[in-house]
Chain A
Amino acid sequence: MAERCAVVGIGQTKYDRCLPVTMDGLVREAALRALEDAELTFADVDAIVIGKAPDALEGVMMPELSLCDALGAVGKPIHRVHTAGSVGASTAISAATLIESGMYDTVLTVSYEKQSDGNFMWALSGGRSGGQGAGGSFAPWIRDYMTRSGAPEHIGWKVAVKDRLNGCKNPYAHLHQEDITLEAVKESPMIWDPIHFFEVCPSSDGAAAMVVTNAAGAKRAPRPPAWVIAHAKRTEFAVFPGRDPVRPAAGVECAKALYKKAGITDPRRQIDCAELYVPFSWFEPMWLEGHLICEEGEGWKMVDSGATEIGGDFPVNMSGGVLCSNAIGASGMVRCLEAASQVRGTAGGYQVEGARVALGHAYGGASNYFAMWIVSSEPNPTFS
């Protein structure tokens, strides 16, 4: 690649059920926080990349057109990415590509969702019916995972308790469920068998933003940069008889390409922590396996052993993850920027001590879109 890319600014809004701001206000708040973190202004930005999930969620078609003023984009290039639930991470990757191409020096990337402006379940089914919802699609695959791996039911509850308690340390998280217990998850209503209510992500409003720049920009940055070491995207057909939706080939291939590019040969040992896209608790063990962090059938054992807690050997979703905040279009970018935050050492109350290499991940559609990146505190980390 022509240039190296580094994250030098991170900004988020508080995630909440309903933020009483306009969409312009929402994206601008995240963008300004990212610029402030980088000690830059809109004038320093060469291009903007914006991402969000379907336009039907808010009823605004091609929102870059109406948000360009709020993002300081007038007179500049701005383009809009949409790759279903993985879009936040895909958007971050597109922004990184603009830098790596050598064509742009400093890029602002923003993603958001304002779920309170619409009705996700309605939009998901094209406005035609209530639909089965995302959980309705994923529940049978989760049940299949449990059957295949022999994972006991409490694994999902454990993930929910861990993520919700982690979220209590994150001031931006939508849910701060301090009193959550395994018993409470178990007793919460069954939404889509085997998924209980407390194992489901919330519907959130919120925006996330990053400022990415090249090596020269990283040198000028006031705070430690997070270097983008590798990124990868993979897609497979949403529906066809040969696919395995529990362990999609696109997820496996994406991880392989990512680790190869980064020079990672033993992900569990060489990656210090990960922010994985886990909108339903069971996706934590499923992605640990599906992205080659552990052997098939071992993911739930990692969860059960506490390995994925902060303080474990492979912490996952230190920020509370999607289970605590899900402004859909932003969620993938949040995973990427939380990974960056860890290696910058700016993760506050949920910092993993000494984090040097972190994974940010998102998936979308019918588990058929994957986007991931690896960031590091070092521009050229070596792995042994």
Chain B
Amino acid sequence: MAEDIAIVAFAQTPSYRSYDDSEPSMILGLVNQILEEIEIDRHEIDFTIAGSCDYLSGRAFSFIANVDGYGAWPPVYESHVEMDGAWALFEAFVRLQMGDIDLAMIVASGKSSPGTPREIFPLQTDPYVNAPLGLDPVSVAGLQARALLDSGKATERDFAEVVSRSRRDALSNPNAQVAKDIPVETLLKEPYYASPLRKHDLPPISDGASAVLIARGKRARELCEKPVWIRGIDHRIESHHLGLRDLTDSPSSRIAARSLGLTVGSLDVAELCVRYSPEEIVLRKALELGDGTRINPSGGPLCGHPVMASGLTRVVEVARRIRGGEAGRGLGHATSGPALQQNLLCILEGDS
């Protein structure tokens, strides 16, 4: 029988175009904010796990410095995934299932501003065929968009509608980096950037971090009035070879949804890690999200995309809405790799 595990506190930095201080300093601020909110000492945390990426920092072992952000004296029980913090949440969720510890802190952080993402990210592709060609995520997103257009599953107007709605919703999100009320017609007049994508179909380059504290059932109730229950986390990957994939579909998301028993229409809100506007169209269809589910009320990554924290931030945004009473049940989504290669789903629910 699965343990009841809940998010008891969460925090995020704004999405910055360029954060001048260090990555550990972002983490430190968030961890302190959480500890103050629920009035516990950092030594009461049983397990900490971080998600970050050496390549964004441009140095090996960059996560070692991030430990300064959550503290490690006396020594702590902690770990690190070289992935979006949403996968750190997955491992912490798994760890708490063992039933011997109660409280886990998850931190996610990334600073894309010091580098040039379009030059760095081709290194995610295989080093023998694709990486030497410099196949970058924007170009892959362009291929995905083209496949959607060619198959008749979407139009350029659909892409623009995603952007227009997201940027408008971001006006009410104080952490958003880009927010504006722009009509679809105006967007469609913009020139192409990576055809058929326009610059606004891409996420901004961002720095940022987020953190989540989770607890097992009894402890969760002690620590906060409104625990946000994690009803399940699943993640799946697809082939690395673009030629073997249908870029207009997301079978990995569908497998994850099925294994979580996600039913159509059960979600009030979904925060999807939409890095390029066509991804929303692919995910909506694969997850069978209908009109009853509000998509990315925060504006999503199109309005602020701190890589490595962007996925965990989706979970934070859903938890915020459940705690605030705007939603009863929601989905946080994270993704990794070109064209939604790997997807994680986290189902959250308030007390009913």
Contacts and interface: CB of A to CB of B under 8 A. Distances in A.
B30 to A, nearest CB: 19
B323 interface: no
B252 A75 contact: yes
Contacts of B255: 75
A61 B124 contact: yes
A23 interface: yes
B80 A249 contact: no
A1 B100 contact: yes
Contacts, number: 184
A126 B238 CA distance: 31
A64 B235 CA distance: 13
Given A84-B61, A242-B73, A59 B252 contact: no
A235 B75 contact: yes
A376 interface: no
B128 A94 contact: no
Interface string A1-21: 110000000000000000000
Interface stretch (A50-58, A170-178, A308-316): A50-58
Size bracket, chain A contacts: 35 or more
Contacts of B238: 68, 74-75
B133 interface: no
A117 B126 CA distance: 13
B164 to A, nearest CB: 31
A381 B58 CA distance: 47
Contact of A68 (B61, B90, B240): B240
A237 B237 CA distance: 34
Contacts of B338: 65
A160 B324 CA distance: 62
Contact of A73 (B91, B237, B241): B237
Contacts of B55: 55-56, 61-62
Interface string B201-218: 000000000000000000
Interface residues of B, number: 59
Interface in B92-127: 94-95, 97-100, 120-121, 123-127
B139 to A, nearest CB: 16
Contacts of A102: 2, 97
B75 A78 contact: no
A69 interface: yes
A22 B131 CA distance: 14
Contact of A365 (B64, B127, B237, B251): B64
Contact of A235 (B78, B237, B337): B78
Given A62-B336, A75-B236, A80-B83, A238 B64 contact: yes
A62 B98 contact: no
A94 B68 CA distance: 23
Contacts of A54: 54, 60-61
B152 interface: no
Given A54-B60, A101-B95, A236-B73, A66 B126 contact: yes
A78 B53 CA distance: 17
Contact of A126 (B59, B94, B337): B59
Interface in A300-358: none
A106 interface: no
Interface string B224-247: 000000000011111111000000
B79 A233 contact: yes
B60 A124 contact: yes
Given A61-B55, A101-B98, A234-B77, A76 B131 contact: no
Contacts of A1: 98-100
Contacts of A83: 79-80
Contact of B237 (A23, A76, A82, A123): A76
B73 to A, nearest CB: 6
Interface in A223-280: 232-238, 240, 242-243, 248-250, 253-254, 257
B74 interface: yes
Nearest to A85: B61
A248 B74 CA distance: 11
B264 interface: no
27 contacts: A1-B98, A54-B54, A56-B60, A57-B60, A60-B124, A60-B131, A66-B126, A68-B239, A75-B236, A76-B237, A79-B81, A79-B83, A79-B235, A80-B82, A80-B87, A97-B94, A101-B97, A101-B98, A103-B97, A126-B58, A232-B77, A234-B75, A235-B78, A237-B72, A238-B65, A250-B72, A369-B64
Interface of A: 1-2, 22-24, 53-62, 64-69, 73-84, 90, 94, 97-98, 100-103, 117, 123-124, 126-127, 232-238, 240, 242-243, 248-250, 253-254, 257, 365-366, 368-369
